[in-house]
Amino acid sequence: NKEYAAAIEYLRDVQEMVDRVKIDGRFVNDKFARLQKQVTGLDDTRRTKVRELLDKVNDASAEGRYDRANRYANDIANLVAKD
């Protein structure tokens, strides 16, 4: 079926784009900057958790563990998105 073939091709294209994303210092720093803008207005509990995760992002980045820093940044994004 044509729709199925088109969907499979689209998924392959998306996977190629994802594979080309380089998670490095710049990627993490850019995400970090976007998240900082969203953190305002959080309740104290989430703000405390965000601060803990921000420390982990900083530590992982300093160690060159950008994959780990990105995961912590994703955790922050999930906390912020709960509004």
Q: Is the pLDDT of residue 56 over 90?
A: yes
More confident residue, 36 or 56: 56
Kindly indicate the confidence band of residue 49, based on its pLDDT and cuts at 50, 70 and 90.
very high
Which residues make Cβ contacts (< 8 Å) with residue 57, sequence separation at least 6? 28, 32, 69, 72, 73, 76
How much is the mean pLDDT over the chain? 85
Q: What is the pLDDT of residue 29?
A: 81
Which residues make Cβ contacts (< 8 Å) with residue 80, sequence separation at least 6? 35, 38, 39, 42, 46, 50
Q: Is the pLDDT of residue 2 over 90?
A: no
